[in-house]
Structure 1
């Protein structure tokens, strides 16, 4: 008898308690269905085994297919020089390249052997770098050493290319360190520096600040943020054209700058004291000393005379093409 015609259909899913004779009847009814379920389970197992074997066979075939397709993939056929141009277009346009394995150029060396070879043998890919700030007081030594080695490898890959480097916030350094290891690495490649952006403690930056014209023959752009008024040679170089300077100085006009050769100038000031920085007359004096300026931004922080409710201002200038 089929279970669909079971005499116990109206008793199913209830609290009905069958009698002894009904229990025997129910067990007799279940013999054939239970055997049928076992046969179905066996068929399912056979089908699943066959399906598993087919999937394994397909995966093996697909692996061979993909490997052969890769040989004729359009990207594999791209000439070396075109691939280099593609890599260069992956670099950031608004800032120096980051030391980040998820960004170019480091990311390009993680795709495949050929890409890594092309990336590592293309010096211009490594011609800019932003070195992240690290707290030398709390960062594990292995992390610090890893960054120093990575920067060294980066600079080595740049070969003889002119460099654009930014290094910010080097204040949190162990006082027993003496000199900042990353600063010393930059000093070692100073003759290739084209653009230098840095901020931090003047004492730690001192090896950079003391570089003279013979040390930085290519340097044209400097951005400097420092809370002190350091003794510096680097601001006097004859190649300097673009300067972005923010520092704690009572008289920016007294700085030994090659004003007449600057084409871009930005002057700022740390703090809110009204007796430091530049007033409007000082800003005009700067403009008079800079006949070749094309762009200029000067933060006005100083009053020529006490004025109630004085507010800061900025003076902008943008020359013609």
Structure 2
């Protein structure tokens, strides 16, 4: 059977046509790429707008600036040391940066040290407006550079002393006494807000006979001072300068710089609300200077008989503070709230244990007792343990007088 086939369509040869030439195709392809690039840019812009719209819907973006500033304050000021927290917050966005710059309390830490420049301190001082300040001047003796360090300390104090009226805390850590005195000579203005004073001289064994104590500090006007920590700084033992303290730390006093028993008792008498007492690394006093306190008060009116009452004293630490000084101080104190006591490198502490036992006749809620590298009468310790039923922790470190049967003996009350 014959089948009729229609003739096939002729094949067109495009190679010779004008509109399909190579330059034209290349131009068309380039035009298409331009359109695609334009569409990609448009897509990126739309994605950016979408992301911004999503961020604007987040709760953090709807916080008022006051609340955001409060969050920044908690996050930054809870850090013990100066950190990158504030800088990282300011890098998040322009709004956060503006909030941070306009929040004075975020800039209330003024630090000048081997790693913190004067320019940074000047910036913080300017941005802090009129809020209270925490001032730290810290230079390590390991990075001591002689006159350059002293010059930096003096320049820092020249920058900071006009703001003394709003200092809340002032910490000065320097290598030697000459640098401390050079700085404190500029602390003449009153400090009505000062609560914490800490002066630490690292090279405590070096004598300085050229600088007199810069007195009076802060014109003798620091009514809110509650915490005082002095290490190797001789302030002339002016009791009026540290009256009414809650925390007292004294340490690093050797030879003629160590306070006498009478000075120490006078300081304690001026701080009836004392809660923590630390005496550390002091040359001991002569036994003869303590004899007047050992005598019975009713036998001679010349001897002091007034017991110093410290009803809020909770923690006490005596670390290489001299056994004569320590036992004499305990003989003159009443401490009905004492909960933690440390006696370290104190020779024979039996007399101190006897004073603790005497205090237990009325009130002694002792919960933590640590005796390290000291001697004691084991029987006296056992009697004390029998009277302090509140004791939860007993630490005996590097002691030779504690036998293996110490805690097995029935306490004698």
* Secondary structure, counterpart of 2:272 in structure 1: coil
Partner of 2:148: 174
Relative CO higher for 1 or 2, CA cutoff 8 Å, sep ≥ 6? 1
Counterpart Cα distance in 2 of 1:274 and 1:177: 30
Partner of 2:58: 73
| Contact 2:194/2:222 (<8 A) preserved | no
Map 1:44-59 → 2, pairs under 5 A: 59=44
| Contact 1:242/1:263 (<8 A) preserved | yes
Counterpart Cα distance in 2 of 1:285 and 1:215: 24
Partner of 1:162: 132
Counterpart Cα distance in 2 of 1:175 and 1:149: 16
Deviations 1:54-94 (A, max 9, x none): 98776554323212222322221111111011111102436
CA apart distance, 1:300: 5.3
TM-score, normalised to structure 2, is 0.50
Partner of 2:94: 113
| Contact 2:249/2:278 (<8 A) preserved | yes
Query: Measured at CA, do residues 110 and 234 of structure 1 come closer, stay the same or move farther in structure 2, by a change above 3 Å?
Result: farther
Q: 2:221 matched to 1:245?
A: no
Partner of 2:244: 261
Counterpart Cα distance in 2 of 1:294 and 1:153: 37
Deviations 1:217-259 (A, max 9, x none): 322321001255642322643423321100154xx7x422324
| Contact 1:130/1:167 (<8 A) preserved | yes
Equivalent residue for 2:187, pick from 208, 211, 235: 211
**Structure 1 range deviating more: 256-265 or 168-177:** 168-177
Q: 2:358 matched to 1:312?
A: no
Query: Measured at CA, do residues 163 and 298 of structure 1 come closer, stay the same or move farther in structure 2, by a change above 3 Å?
Result: same
| Contact 1:210/1:232 (<8 A) preserved | no
Q: Which runs of 5 or more structure 2 residues have no equivalent in the other structure?
A: 1-32, 288-318, 339-413
Partner of 1:88: 73
Counterpart Cα distance in 2 of 1:248 and 1:303: 17
Query: Measured at CA, do residues 210 and 150 of structure 1 come closer, stay the same or move farther in structure 2, by a change above 3 Å?
Result: closer
Partner of 2:197: 222
Query: Measured at CA, do residues 179 and 300 of structure 1 come closer, stay the same or move farther in structure 2, by a change above 3 Å?
Result: closer
CA apart distance, 1:279: 6.9
Between the two proteins, the alignment pairs up a number of residues equal to 245
Counterpart Cα distance in 2 of 1:73 and 1:318: 55
Partner of 1:127: 108
Q: 2:272 matched to 1:296?
A: no
Counterpart Cα distance in 2 of 1:174 and 1:58: 58
* Secondary structure, counterpart of 2:239 in structure 1: coil
Query: Measured at CA, do residues 118 and 284 of structure 1 come closer, stay the same or move farther in structure 2, by a change above 3 Å?
Result: same
**Structure 1 range deviating more: 168-177 or 71-80:** 168-177
CA apart distance, 1:117: 0.8
Deviations 1:240-288 (A, max 9, x none): 3321100154xx7x42232432222111116xx5665257776445423
Map 1:186-197 → 2, pairs under 5 A: 186-197=160-171
Q: Which runs of 5 or more structure 1 residues have no equivalent in the other structure?
A: 1-48, 135-143
| Contact 1:262/1:290 (<8 A) preserved | yes
* Secondary structure, counterpart of 1:184 in structure 2: helix
CA apart distance, 1:120: 0.8
Partner of 1:38: none
Q: Calculate the aligned-residue CA RMSD, in Å.
A: 3.7
CA apart distance, 1:211: 2.2
* Secondary structure, counterpart of 1:180 in structure 2: helix
TM-score, normalised to structure 1, is 0.63
| Contact 2:154/2:183 (<8 A) preserved | no
